[in-house]
Every structure is written in structure tokens, then in C-alpha cells.
A = this chain, B = another copy of it.
């Protein structure tokens, strides 16, 4: 059990004199040296939490650095991501292949494996990108939830691991922490353990400047097991971790620490938080810590302790692999972890598209999405649905999806509560863990609340799907607080995020096909509350949304004007084209369900679709971004500002988003 003490007993050389704290001091030294060398970074947290991290990684965390992606490994999340040198130092000493000492020496340099904050997909062993405070904690809830859900599917023999989090004061101040701990406590995620770096210092100074909350009472109120320990007392930390490991409820361990521990002139103050200690203070810290070795040098004896700590993980991994090899569920497990969708999903969606093209129902696109989800969820069990308390508005639940409930993890539907931000972060966690393709719903306007985590979906390249309904003034009476105007622009401006706004039922199914196929990019489906006519009624069509935009209506001879539109406004553009046709003005209509995909097409295709005629765009949203497609002198019909409270039809008329207005704009261009 305790690797820490026995291995230290076997030491000789300086350590025999210096004592076991040197094992942790290796982290402190590497952190302060790397920050000093970079002349940038955060030494305070790594130095303060070195003792806690040493206990966690040498005695508890189940990791095998030679197989950093082993499915049943423990997950570690550094929610206080600015302390990245703590994680890099640990992983260097544990022997992760991509972190030789040279990479620590290149801390925060271009192209190094040691960026300022831990980046998923960039450095082995980094389970999620952190830095924006609170995100790691909330994502860890998703990781821990995924573990329970996978265990419910495959049993403890194949899935049995913990999620360990180091969080700081800032993480616990951010609003997302509330959503995360509330949900984790509710679901009784006993495998989640949060080590709070309770150093009572934030950037502005003492945390007493801005908070008086009794965090233990707060977490207890949310159903967590809580403990408080001296973060510089390894045995106390170990005892708390041991208790947490056996808990049926998520655990918070408040680790009382001294920020910048060991830097004699600055420890315990915000001066150690986000700046190099300075050469003199680094030297003084070496003295104080009894760490005589030069920068970036760690004695072999200490390295041995760290390496030895990986034995437990390697043994566990090998035993697990033997179990997997014998398991009758092996193929199923591997397919699930790989996230490979069965062919049946594509077939079901193609079938649905054909049926919709044939039956031509007038449907809200949220309703068409519900039909798509029924097809998807019936053909695979990889998908996990959910909504931020708008299930029957987002239409995200389908027949047979049982909810996940406290202590019951076999279900496939999450009642996330009124917690958009945590929903997005938990979806990131579910996706990062492996085994699930999460989708979750809210109103498009509340993408505002989820922004922080949506950005991380994009930055990490996770193929989660945001089902965002009520996507314009078409939602009607709820008024401007609920009517997205700038949100399509906000989301389209976000790198590596595909924003879909389908025009009818068939396009909605197409967009779902594309979102599911995109396993390295998150998708937003912007869906209408209101019913929309069937526009795509041709038999056996290929997925036309795949190219992002396409000619939906093409005049027989040339075109005088091109009308561009998305979603609910495509029908308006078509009606405008009819009005214009009556005046012998030939209008092409382009449906643009996904700008990002259209941007990815070659120039020739884009030119073919956009044509040379003057253009009018119509979208019940802000103009911002549309000039990309309008060309010189193009017109835009859309929202001039915020919406209003009234029935949808009245609003479209009030804001002049009508076929008549589009036709009038087109006439203006054609007669110019």
C-alpha cells in the first residue's frame, strides 16, 4: 500500500540525511526552475501542493506511464491549470515518454510539450485542457460519471477507476463549481475526489478579500463527504485519500497549504502565484528546502522513488488486460471505447431522410431532430442524451432512454438541471473519458451560459453535440431575453466548431449525420421552435448539407439575384423567389446550413453556389458575419438589434423578415 515510506527507507546518499520530503521537493525544484527559466509561470501552486501530489501519485493514482491511454486508468485533472508545472514535473518523474527534462526546460516555449496550461491532446497524460478556472472540476464530474456509466455497462472487472482533481480557491469561487458539485453530489459520484489547495491566497491577495464561505459546509450541503487536512502532512493526506477512495459519495479534501512553500521570502503570499520567484529567492528556497542540486537536476535515488510508484499502476494494467482478454465482452468493450458508430446508425438516418422526403411533413426542426435522435438512439448505445431542464422543449429524450439517477448509472439520459455550463463541461468529460457520444440541449440563447465549456469542446476537438432549440425570434412570446440574435455569430466565430442551422426536416437529419460523423469537432444544431414546411422532397438525395451550402432553387435560365438563407428563413427566401419569378426576376436560393463546411469547399464549388448575381441574405439574426457571403453591395434582411415579446408571426412582420422584404431588397439590387 504505502510506497512512500518503505522506498525512502532504502535510500542512501543525501536523502538519508534529507528525509522523505525530498521526494516532494523534486516537484518544487522543477517547478520553480522551469518558471524561472521561462521567466513566466506560476510556481506558488506546485510548491504548495507538492506534498499532496506526491502522496496522490506515489500511493494512490492508478496510472501506467507506458500506456497513458489505458482505458481503466485513473483520471487526473489539474483544475487549477495554472499550476501546470506540478503536473509536468510529476509526469516527468513518473516517466511519461514525451516529458524528458529537456521539455521541462522548454516550459512555455513554442512547440514544447509543456505549454502554460495543460492541453489535452498535446501532452500525454493530460486528460482535459484546463486553465479557465472551474472547468477542470466540472469536466471531472463528466469523467467520473462516465466511469460509473461504463462500470454499469461492463462491470467492475473492466471498469473500476477514480477521478482525482486538484482545484484551487478560484475554481471554487467560479459559478460552474456550484453546478458541478451540485450534480456530482446528487448523482453520488463516489469515485470523484477533489483535493482543494486551500492556501487562502488568490491573485488579489488573501481570499478573505472576497469570500467568507465555509467550503466544507458548502460541499456537505451538496451531499459530499468532506475532510480537512494539513496539506504538508503526508500521512494525514494519505488517510484522507484512503477514506475518500472508499466513499460512496464524492469527496472534498481541503488541504491546508502554504502557497510557494519553501520560498522563504515569499511563501504564503500572492507574490508566488503567477511570477518567477527570481534568482535570489530560488537560491534561498534551495537552502530552505535542503535541495542542493542544480537547476533541473534530480538525484537518481529520488527518481527511483517516483519510478517505483508506477509499478502499482503497471501491475494493475497488466491484470486488467488479462481480464479483458478473457472477457466475453471484449469486442463490445473495445468498440465502445473506440466510439465506433455501427453502420445501423447511418442506415437508420438515411431511411428516415427518405421517409421525410417522401411524406413531406411540416415540422419544427427541433421535432425533426427528435425523430433523428429516435433513429440514432435506437441504432447505437454510444449516445448519451440530456438537457439543462428543457427536455420537452429541446426534444432530446427518445423512447427507451432511461435517466441516470443517484447511484443508478445504467441509463442513457441526463437531467442536467438548470446548469448549462456544467452540462457542456460534463459532456466534455463524458467524451474525453471514452465510451460515449454525448449530446445535450438548451435554448440557443443560453449558449451564453455554456460558452466557457463550449470553447473547450472546440479547443480540445471533442465531437459533442449541442442541441440548441428556439433559435430565433421564431420562439415568440418569451421575448428578447430568450431570443438569440448574436449567438449564431458568436458560435460561428469560434474556431473548430461546426454550427448547423437546418431549414427543414430532411436537412435536420443530414446535419445530425454530419455532427455524428465529426468525432474531432463539436457541433451546434440551431433548431426552430416553430413548424417549418418541407423543402427537401427529392427522392434518394445525397447529404446535401455536407458541403455546407447548396443551390436549393435554381432558375432555368441564368439568375438575376441569389438569395442566401439558413434555417427557418430558407422558406422565406423560397417564397421571395416565387414573388420575384412573377416579375420575371430569376432568383436562385442557396440554403447554407453550415458555414464552416461551405468554407472548407474548394473555390470552384463556392463560386458555383454563390454565383455572380447580386446577393440578398436573410436570417432572423444579426448581420454580423454575413458580409463574408454577401459580396459587394449585397443586402441583408434580418434583425437590427434585440427582439421583442410577441407571437412569432407578429415578430417576423414587425422586424420585416418576410418574403416581401426579401423580394424588395432583391428588386433594389436588380434594378440598381
Residue of B nearest to A220 (CB): B217
B residues less than 8 Å from A110 (CB atoms): 644-647, 650-651, 654
Residue of B112, B625, B632 touching A489 (CB-CB under 8 A): B625
Number of copies: 2
User: Is the Cβ of A131 less than 8 Å from the Cβ of B222?
Assistant: no
Whether B477 contacts A108 by the Cβ 8 Å rule is yes
* Interface residue from B130, B182, B451, B622 paired with A493 (Cβ < 8 Å): B622
Cβ distance A177 to chain B, nearest Cβ, rounded Å = 7
Contacts A217-B217, A418-B173 given; indicate if A116 touches B479 (C-beta within 8 A): yes
Contact B209 A477 (CB under 8 A): no
A–B pairs, 15, beta carbons within 8 Å: A108-B647, A110-B654, A116-B478, A169-B418, A173-B179, A175-B175, A175-B421, A175-B422, A209-B405, A212-B222, A448-B451, A486-B493, A490-B490, A495-B642, A627-B630
Given A174-B418, A185-B213, A417-B211, decide whether A480 and B452 contact each other with a Cβ distance below 8 A: no
Given A185-B212, A213-B223, 8 other A-B contacts at CB below 8 A?
A108-B645, A110-B647, A129-B481, A132-B449, A170-B389, A183-B211, A209-B405, A212-B223
Q: Are B419 and A175 in contact (CB under 8 A)?
A: yes
* Cβ contact within 8 Å between B185 and A477: no
Chain B residues, Cβ within 8 Å of A119 = 479-481, 645
Interface string of A423-464 (1 = CB under 8 A from B): 000000000000000000000011011011001101100000
Closest residue of chain B to A218 (Cβ to Cβ) is B221
Question: Which A residues, 129 to 143, have Cβ-Cβ distances below 8 Å to chain B?
Answer: 129-133
User: Which residue of chain B is the closest to A417 with respect to CB atoms?
Assistant: B210
Q: Least Cβ distance of A506 to chain B in Å?
A: 28
> How near does chain B come to A149, taking the closest CB pair, in angstroms?
16
Knowing A133-B418, A625-B624, A644-B115, the reply to whether A174 touches B81 (Cβ < 8 A) is no
In the bound assembly, the distance between CA atoms of A643 and B630 in angstroms comes to 29
Q: A167 to nearest B CB, angstroms?
A: 12
Q: Mark A198-215, 1 if CB is under 8 A from B, else 0.
A: 000011110101111111
Give, as a whole number of angstroms, the nearest-CB distance from A442 to chain B. Answer: 11
* Residues of chain B contacted by A220 (CB below 8 angstroms): 217, 221
Q: Is A400 an interface residue (CB 8 A)?
A: no
With A81-B481, A182-B173 as contacts: A132 and B40 at CB distance below 8 Å: no
* Cβ of A469 under 8 Å from chain B: no
Closest B residue to A219 using CB positions:
B221
How many Å from the CB of A45 to the closest CB on chain B? 14
Q: Once bound together, how far apart are the Cα atoms of A654 and B256, in whole Å?
A: 42
A355 at interface, CB cutoff 8 A: no
Q: Which residues of B contact A116 (CB under 8 A)?
A: 477-479, 482, 645
Chain B residues contacting A19 (CB-CB under 8 Å) are: none
Across the interface, do A646 and B109 meet the contact criterion of CB distance under 8 Å? yes
Given A182-B211, A489-B624, residue A389 in contact with residue B203 (CB < 8 A): yes
Asked if A628 is at the interface of the complex by the 8 Å CB criterion, the answer is yes
Interface size (A, Cβ < 8 Å)?
A: 113
A544 proximity list for chain B (CB < 8 A): none
Q: CB of A76 within 8 A of chain B?
A: no
How long is the Cα–Cα vector from A495 to B115 in the complex, in angstroms?
A: 36
B-contact 0/1 string along A155-185, CB 8 Å cutoff: 0000000000000011101111111001101
> How far is the CB of A119 from the nearest CB of chain B, in Å?
7
Give chain B residues whose Cβ lies under 8 Å from the Cβ of A278.
none
**A553 contacts the other chain (CB 8 A):** no
Q: For the complex, is A667 an interface residue (Cβ under 8 Å from B)? A: no
Would you call A476 an interface residue if the criterion is a C-beta within 8 Å of the partner chain's C-beta atoms? yes
Residues facing B in A258-301 (CB within 8 A) are none
A624 in contact with B492 given A173-B417, A212-B186, A389-B170 (CB within 8 Å): yes
Is residue A415 contacting chain B, with contact meaning CB distance below 8 A? yes
Q: Does A387 contact B (CB under 8 A)?
A: yes
CB atoms of A624 and B493 under 8 A apart = yes
Q: Is B624 a contact partner of A627 (Cβ separation < 8 A)?
A: no
Shortest beta-carbon distance from A387 to chain B in Å: 7
Known interface pairs A210-B186, A213-B185; A625-B493 also in contact (CB < 8 Å): yes
Give A378-410 as 1s and 0s: 1 = Cβ < 8 Å from B's Cβ atoms.
000000000101111100000000010110000
Q: Are B175 and A481 in contact (CB under 8 A)?
A: no
Cβ-based interface call for A41 (8 A): yes
Verify if A68 is at the interface (C-beta below 8 Å from B): no
Measured CB to CB, the closest approach of chain B to A186, in angstroms, equals: 4
Q: Which residues of B contact A644 (CB under 8 A)?
A: 110, 115
Select one of B182, B205, B417, B639 contacting A202, CB under 8 A.
B417
Answer whether residue A91 sits at the interface, using C-beta atoms and an 8 A cutoff: no
- Rounded to whole angstroms, the CA-CA distance of A630 and B210 in the bound complex is 45
> Closest Cβ of chain B: how far from A26's Cβ, in Å?
23
CA distance A452 to B484 in the complex (A): 12
